[in-house]
């Protein structure tokens, strides 16, 4: 896992191995290879910038799925001083693919939230695993209906106690299994969509990895939608789109381009409001910098949203989703 490299990152891996070999050789043989090491470091840095400054949409999708990318619980730990996880939907069972609870945000690196003023929120999101055992427990980050009902329970609590809601989106989609259908996964997501339009508290949603289909939207109706630079948000995965349009999942890269699912495309079309920058190479290369950028963006949005009266907040939320999408009616001849 530590040395995991995506296909397009392999040139970097080769250079890193060569650099490590030079450093080891210099240390073991007590010889001066400082000039060669500096040259290799410069070449490595140049190659890194060339690769990551020209990423395709499909490569960004791959980065959003990187096995070392910070997941929801990692992010919660990084941006909160206190977190009390709450379990269960009070109807069926606890879904480990959806986590959430009460939290106190860390002070904003830019200054908001300081001077003793702690910002308490309800925070929740989909959780993936790191290995096979964890992924089986977390159902690969794909919630069942009870996961969305747990999320709804937590958000209703936030509404009751006037706490802002922060949701972290990272899922390939809601679980499509027989059990999920029997327990009405579509209805659970639909109720969340309806109820999230009505909660009288600020809602900030952040796509931190994969934002797949209705599974993402089930906790994504918000006053402000943020997205990490290498995350994606789409009605369907690139592989699913390719399987439908071209009957072949190998066309996933082509589908990713056609879907316009990258952060820049989404911002251009009004689907998201803020792109949160990541370190060069993705969030996994420096989770601390990523969490600071994310924390600052959350504080900025909450500070702005908390200034609106409830009625104006709800009207702005309604208008935000009314503006999404365009259609044309044929003119009468």
Spatial distance between the Cα atoms of 255 and 267, rounded to a whole number of angstroms: 19
**Least trusted range by pLDDT, from 117-121, 192-196, 217-221:** 117-121
Does residue 1 surpass a pLDDT of 60?
Answer: no
Query: Residue ranges of the domains in the chain?
Result: 7-54, 60-322
Spatial distance between the Cα atoms of 262 and 249, rounded to a whole number of angstroms: 19
Q: What percent of the chain has pLDDT over 90?
A: 72
Q: 285 CB contacts (<8 Å, ≥6 apart)? A: 279
The tens digit of pLDDT for each residue in 193-212 reads 999 999 999 999 999 999 98
Question: What would the mean pLDDT of 178-194 be, rounded to a whole number?
Answer: 95
What backbone phi and psi angles, to 5 degrees, belong to 218? Answer: -60, -20
CA angle at 125 for the pair 142 and 294, rounded to the nearest 5°:
130
Spatial distance between the Cα atoms of 198 and 331, rounded to a whole number of angstroms: 36
Q: Which pLDDT belongs to residue 207?
A: 97
Q: Which pLDDT belongs to residue 261?
A: 92
Does residue 190 surpass a pLDDT of 90?
Answer: yes
Q: Which pLDDT belongs to residue 2?
A: 57
| Residue 168 or residue 45, greater confidence | 168
Long-range contacts of the stretch 264-270 (C-beta < 8 A, 24+) = 265/57, 266/227, 266/233, 267/227, 269/324, 270/323, 270/324
Average pLDDT, the chain: 90
Closest CA to 166 of 113, 204, 219, 208: 204
The tens digit of pLDDT for each residue in 7-32 reads 888 888 888 888 888 888 878 887 77
Look up tokens 């910070």; give the residue.
70
Spatial distance between the Cα atoms of 315 and 186, rounded to a whole number of angstroms: 26
Q: pLDDT grade, residue 116 (50/70/90)?
A: very low
Cα–Cα separations (whole angstroms), residue 172 to 60, 218, 221, 235: 15, 12, 17, 10
Cα–Cα separations (whole angstroms), residue 102 to 167, 201, 261: 12, 15, 31
Q: Which pLDDT belongs to residue 45?
A: 84
Q: Of how many residues is the chain composed? A: 333
Cα–Cα separations (whole angstroms), residue 170 to 35, 71, 76, 205, 315: 44, 7, 13, 11, 27
Question: What would the mean pLDDT of 175-193 be, rounded to a whole number?
Answer: 95
Is 143:94 a contact under the CB 8 Å cutoff? Answer: no
Q: pLDDT grade, residue 117 (50/70/90)?
A: low
Query: What pTM was estimated for this model as a whole?
Result: 0.89
Q: Which pLDDT belongs to residue 128?
A: 96
Look up tokens 């659970």; give the residue.
188
Does residue 4 surpass a pLDDT of 80?
Answer: no
DSSP labels for 249-264? GGGHHHHHHHHT-BHH
Q: Which pLDDT belongs to residue 3?
A: 64
Does residue 113 surpass a pLDDT of 50?
Answer: no
Q: Which pLDDT belongs to residue 110?
A: 72
The tens digit of pLDDT for each residue in 270-305 reads 899 999 999 988 999 899 999 999 999 999 999 999
Is 102:60 a contact under the CB 8 Å cutoff? Answer: no
**Least trusted range by pLDDT, from 95-104, 150-159, 279-288, 306-315:** 279-288
SS3 assignment for 218-244: CCCCCCEEEEECCCEEECCCHHHHHHH
Q: What percent of the chain has pLDDT over 70?
A: 96
Question: What would the mean pLDDT of 51-68 be, rounded to a whole number?
Answer: 91
What backbone phi and psi angles, to 5 degrees, belong to 284? Answer: -70, -20
Fold annotation for 60-322: 2-enoyl-CoA Hydratase; Chain A, domain 1 (3.90.226)
Pairing of strands 274-276, 224-228: parallel
CA angle at 231 for the pair 227 and 235, rounded to the nearest 5°:
90
Q: Which pLDDT belongs to residue 65?
A: 93
What backbone phi and psi angles, to 5 degrees, belong to 94? Answer: -90, 130
């Amino acid at each position: 896992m530590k040395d995991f490299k995506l296909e397009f990152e392999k040139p970097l891996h080769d250079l890193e191995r060569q650099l490590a070999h030079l450093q080891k050789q210099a240390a073991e043989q007590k010889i001066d290879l400082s000039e060669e090491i500096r040259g290799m470091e410069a070449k490595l840095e140049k190659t890194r910038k060339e690769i990551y400054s020209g990423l395709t949409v499909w490569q960004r999708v791959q980065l959003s799925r990187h096995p070392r990318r910070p997941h929801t619980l990692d992010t919660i730990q990084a941006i909160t001083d206190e977190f009390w996880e709450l379990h269960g939907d009070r109807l069926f069972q606890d879904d480990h693919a959806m986590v959430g609870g009460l939290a106190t945000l860390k002070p904003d690196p830019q200054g908001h939230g300081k001077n003793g003023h702690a910002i308490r929120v309800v925070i929740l999101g989909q959780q993936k695993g790191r290995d096979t055992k964890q992924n089986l427990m977390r159902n690969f980050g794909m919630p069942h209906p009870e996961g969305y009902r747990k999320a709804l329970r937590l958000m209703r609590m936030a509404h009751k106690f006037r706490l802002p809601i922060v949701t972290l989106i990272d899922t390939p989609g809601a679980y499509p299994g027989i059990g999920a259908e029997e327990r009405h996964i579509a209805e659970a997501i639909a109720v969340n969509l309806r109820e999230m339009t009505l909660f009288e508290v600020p809602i900030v949603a952040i796509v931190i990895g994969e934002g797949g289909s209705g599974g993402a939207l089930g906790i994504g109706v918000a006053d402000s939608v943020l997205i990490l630079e290498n995350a994606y948000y789409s009605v369907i995965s690139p592989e699913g789109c390719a399987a439908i349009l071209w009957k072949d999942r190998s066309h996933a890269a082509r589908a990713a381009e056609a879907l316009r699912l990258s952060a820049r495309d989404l911002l251009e079309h009004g689907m998201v409001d803020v792109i949160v920058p990541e370190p060069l190479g993705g969030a996994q290369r420096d989770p601390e910098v990523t969490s600071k950028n994310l924390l600052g963006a959350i504080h900025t949005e909450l500070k702005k949203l908390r200034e609106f009266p409830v009625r104006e907040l709800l009207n702005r939320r309604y208008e935000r989703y009314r503006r999404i999408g365009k259609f044309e009616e044929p003119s009468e001849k």
